[in-house]
Structure 1
């Protein structure tokens, strides 16, 4: 009788543990968008990358010494309690809905303890940093992960989210960039043909077990998911159909350089320094022209720099940056947005330009930390359709990075693994 009671207690205890873990997973779904987002207006200058190189794609190898670095500022002089956790997702960024014990080696959440106050700046801020995997948070399996930062341990008070990738390399990727198969697009588009070799892996059905995702310049809105190979040759999958992985080349990004707030750089018209820093940029115009003109850019990225300081993380100041764009025949029928990695390419009220019907120009201002910023203009029509090329141009010669990610769902598995990664650049073939 006692053994039966003990077994019953053990069963109830196990059920309660599973319920708590399930509640943790379900609770984390509510307030978060499964993309790179900032939820609090006072949070600025979020950077997240492989710690070996500033601005690098946030991918690390499973069970390695690789680490990711997250940095961000909060305007003001008060420190706050920020917690974080990570969640496993599939190739399309749907939650895997598995318990944290299946994808975490250690604790389910931790606290950000590394912070410093700004020094000698007009705009006061607190600079936060987080490096992981660490002793408290480390992934157990490969795949897509979402980093979630929230305040005071409250999932209903989100601060920011960042996507990152953990790869357990088991598949080899060979790729090349070729002109589009569509003759009318050969001057504008960049087509990616690639092969995935999965020798050594148990793949019962390549059409359902393996999916490959491509992105241009790590931008989620450019992602193309390949679920069916064009040809299967032994343990090699070839993706070369004429209708897939054909990307508009776009144009090199525009840039603004605020490393110095004392001297005007190339694109700056005026700098005002008083109770706040204000930077007026030279007027921009549409670049929808026939000929391609090379200009060096950072593929949408940004870097914090301060020529007058010694540690830009805490002594780079903030400035209100004023953009203005002239478009011949501009009307209020179309909306225009300013986007870059500095605002996660999000098309919302915080990136939308104001239209001045009298001057026929668009205006926009935003608070940015000193540094070098890439940006571009996006036109959106009344239906909400985004047009990335009308104001910027579109050229096959444009220098771009492409990220190729290979996902594998083993037979009987409840989640997708990331088994291959390849970075491809149009100028390094």
Structure 2
């Protein structure tokens, strides 16, 4: 009997532990329904900008996306407060929202003059129904029929209460072997009159390159403290591969070729063949304009790209100078949140020795790059194919988090963006 009871207790403990582990998984940008495409979330001041707005200001975030089913559906949304690691702050919605806990997306339009029919949804918030009370990280959840278990997609956004200042410099890596390939950030945070009892627990700084989650470093402890200034300049921290300028293609028009495009075929749906891409790891740095990995929905042949831009099958192909026996190639950018999964994975053609894949994309301008995942190590590395250079122009974002004394949440107390080309 005792053995049976012990086994049951062990089972319950194991189950509860597994449940807690699942619940503690951090939030991220994710799409759970393949028919949902072209998700944009940005500050209304500029398309493609970071989804950051000031707390209690008149600024708005714009959310737009397409549903390729072509049928209207009952979409709802809400936001949830998170910490610097994108784990739930475990606050009740009544604590971090001033108004209602969810809202329905009622603003939609049907596509016009497009081969592929879709419904475009768009909202602006904060609004009368969704008003955040605290600064910090928030995860936006879009779901169907009022059921949060039926998620459609999630997106990260930031509510800022600017209370600290930052001074940032970008220098070559202090590691002699990386001086030609890496960019190192040194920065100082001044928290002024904020009550900071322990900088190691009250302040955290996340540094990101080109707003990509796979190129981010969370700084917990400063190198040293001088008055109200926290200095982060240790030789071993915030050292990033400079990488390369992003590849890009211009698909604003489907009537003629444009940069990055080899050929366009028009039928019931357009097919776009991109130029043949090659491994750039051994090439010298070449200055080239890019959008730092971003994408923009645009249509030079129409009036409103939200509803008259069409979709096309876009074919990428790459000479990686490697085979599928050595690893796998993936195509990534902000258009797919730099996600390495089966949707971004490329197939290998043994006859041509090239990797290829197809993405169903809306008209616009797209930055992209290739990531290599080594079969032996399982490590993902874009520099294997793209190369890395100190001269590369990158945007770096600093998100500065502050935990007020006695609070159960972290505020976003500062955001700073700096460009490596402006030294």
TM-score, structure 1 normalization: 0.91
Residue in structure 2 matched with residue 127 of structure 1 by the alignment: 120
Residue of structure 2 equivalent to 1:394: 388
Does 2:312 match 1:316? no
Task: Tell me which residue corresponds to 1:218.
Answer: 211
CA 1:254–1:155 in 2, change beyond 3 Å: closer, same or farther? same
Counterparts of 2:276 and 2:24 in 1: how far apart (Å)?
39
CA distance in 1, matches of 2:354, 2:283: 23
Moved beyond 4 Å, runs of 4+ = 29-33
Cα offsets for 1:78-128 (capped at 9, x unmatched): 100100000000000110001111110100000111100000000000001
Where in structure 2 are the equivalents of 1:27-426 lying within 5 Å?
34-382=27-375, 383-426=377-420
Q: Secondary structure at the match of 1:303?
A: strand
Which one is further off, 320-329 or 167-176? 320-329
Alpha-carbon distance, 1:358 to partner: 2.0
Q: 2-side partners of 1:33 and 1:321: how far apart?
A: 32
Q: Distance in 2 between matches of 1:394 and 1:304?
A: 28
Task: Name the CA distance, whole Å, in 1 between partners of 2:215 and 2:185.
Answer: 13
Quick one: structure 1 residues 276 and 338, their matched pair in 2 at CA, closer, same or farther if it must change by over 3 Å? same
The 8 Å contact of residues 346 and 356 in structure 2, kept in 1 or not, is answered as yes
1:281 and 1:322 in contact (8 A); partners too? yes
Could you tell me whether the CA contact under 8 Å between 1:409 and 1:417 is conserved in 2?
A: yes
Single out whichever of 322-331 and 60-69 deviates more from structure 2.
322-331
Q: Report the CA distance between 1:244 and its aligned residue.
A: 0.4
Aligned length: 403
Q: Deviations over 1:1-21 (max 9, x none)?
A: xxxxxxxxxxxxxxxxxxxxx
> What secondary structure, in the 3-state scheme, does the structure 2 residue paired with 1:220 have?
coil
CA contact (8 A) 1:405 1:420 kept: yes
Distance in 1, matches of 2:24 and 2:263, equals 41
Q: For the Cα contact (< 8 Å) 1:31–1:158, is it kept in 2? A: no
- Pick which of 289-298 and 123-132 moved more: 289-298
Q: Is the 8 A contact 1:217 1:401 kept in 2?
A: yes
Deviation at 1:42, TM superposition (A): 0.3
Q: CA deviation at 1:33?
A: 6.3
Question: Conserved in 2, the CA contact under 8 Å of 1:304 and 1:371?
Answer: yes
Partner of 2:13 in structure 1?
none
* Alignment deviations for residues 398-420 of structure 1 (CA, whole Å, 9 cap, x no partner): 11111101111112111111111
Distance 2:310 2:99 in 1: 38
Is residue 24–residue 88 contact of structure 2 (8 Å, CA) maintained in 1? no
Structure 2 residue matching 1:101: 3-state secondary structure: helix
**Structure 1 31/282 Cα, relative in aligned 2: closer, same or farther at 3 Å?**
farther
Question: Are residues 402 and 327 of structure 1, via their aligned partners in 2, closer, same or farther at CA, if it must alter by over 3 Å?
Answer: same
Contact 1:331–1:360 at 8 Å: present in 2 too? no
Quick check: 2:26–2:85 contact (8 Å CA) kept in 1? no
Shift of 1:267: 2.0
Question: Using the alignment, how far apart are the partners of 1:235 and 1:267 within structure 2?
Answer: 49
CA distance in 2, matches of 1:130, 1:31: 29
The whole-number CA distance in structure 1 between the counterparts of 2:320 and 2:157 is 37
State the Cα distance separating 1:289 from its structure 2 match: 2.5
What is the rounded CA distance, in whole Å, between the counterparts of 1:333 and 1:47 in structure 2?
A: 35
Shift of 1:233: 0.5
Contact 2:25 2:87 in 1 (8 A): no
Partner of 1:336, secondary structure, is strand
| Stretches of structure 2 lacking an aligned partner (at least 5 in a row) | 1-18
CA drift of 1:221 comes to 1.5
How well do the aligned residues superpose, as a CA RMSD in angstroms? Answer: 1.6
Cα drift, residue 30 of structure 1: 6.5
Structure 1: how far apart are the matches of 2:320 and 2:163?
50
Equivalent pair of 1:30/1:156 in contact (CA under 8 Å): no
* CA–CA separation in structure 1 for the residues paired with 2:23 and 2:105: 22
